[in-house]
């Protein structure tokens, strides 16, 4: 990958409320980062996170097509906006091998578990059922294999005796808000 100078253009894929997106935007504005969020794409036109992107004058699209059409349109927007890094933030679709291969930029994801444990869904419920002492969150590079890319950052959250999946999920989400922007910093410093 060619080294860049100046601002790194970051794209974000979301599916819902966009709480990690909000934290990435806030962090990039508050800190002297070498990156900025230039584009937000959701696979749901009514995703609340799109409204937050609009409010912050960030180019945004809701594309509700099935996988091949979504990926084709999204890739066109990513290339048009010269995106150097794509962040998946609560994006509830698995990207195809073809999309990952055609992407000429890094792709990272935040996953609500201490990978390699609990890839996929229902991570908090699985951690509680297993009697784990800690849950957490991992930012990792996206590869064709689900939740298996190289780890960038990871944070632990203690599982309390009274925890239910929802209460644990809320605490893990707060931890995600802290580590995701830091992970973007790490990746962008490697791109420049």
At 1, is the pLDDT very low, low, confident or very high (cuts 50, 70, 90)?
A: very low
Over the range 58-79, which residues count as b (16 or more CB within 10 Å of their CB) and which as e?
Answer: bebeebeeeeeebbeebbebbe
Confidence check: pLDDT of 54 > 50 = yes
Determine whether 124 is an active site residue: no
As a whole number, the mean pLDDT across the chain is 95
Q: What's the pTM value of the predicted model, to 2 decimals?
A: 0.94
- Report pLDDT for 149: 97
- Report pLDDT for 7: 87
Confidence check: pLDDT of 166 > 80 = yes
- Report pLDDT for 72: 95
At 43, is the pLDDT very low, low, confident or very high (cuts 50, 70, 90)?
A: very high
* H or E element in which residue 63 lies: none
Confidence check: pLDDT of 47 > 70 = yes
- Report pLDDT for 4: 52
Catalytic residue among 77, 111, 124, 177: 111
At 66, is the pLDDT very low, low, confident or very high (cuts 50, 70, 90)?
A: confident
Residue 175 tokens read as 């931890």
Over the range 2-18, which residues count as b (16 or more CB within 10 Å of their CB) and which as e?
Answer: eeeeeebbbbbbbbbeb
- Report pLDDT for 6: 58
């Amino acid at each position: 990958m060619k080294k860049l100078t100046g601002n790194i253009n970051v794209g974000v894929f979301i599916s819902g409320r966009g709480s990690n997106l909000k934290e990435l935007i806030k962090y990039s504005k508050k800190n002297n980062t070498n990156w900025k969020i230039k584009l937000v794409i959701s696979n749901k036109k009514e995703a609340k996170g799109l409204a937050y992107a609009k409010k912050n004058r960030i180019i945004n699209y809701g594309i509700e097509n099935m996988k091949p059409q979504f990926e084709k349109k999204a890739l066109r927007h990513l290339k048009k906006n010269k995106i150097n890094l794509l962040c998946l933030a609560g994006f509830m679709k698995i990207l195809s091998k073809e999309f990952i291969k055609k992407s000429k930029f890094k792709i990272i994801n935040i996953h609500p578990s201490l990978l390699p444990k609990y890839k996929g869904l229902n991570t908090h419920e699985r951690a509680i059922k297993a009697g784990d002492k800690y849950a957490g969150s991992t930012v990792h590079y996206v590869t064709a294999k689900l939740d298996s890319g190289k780890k960038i950052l990871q944070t632990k959250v203690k599982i309390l005796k009274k925890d239910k999946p929802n209460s644990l999920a809320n605490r893990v989400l707060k931890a995600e808000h802290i580590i995701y922007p830091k992970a973007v910093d790490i990746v962008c410093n490697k791109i420049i």
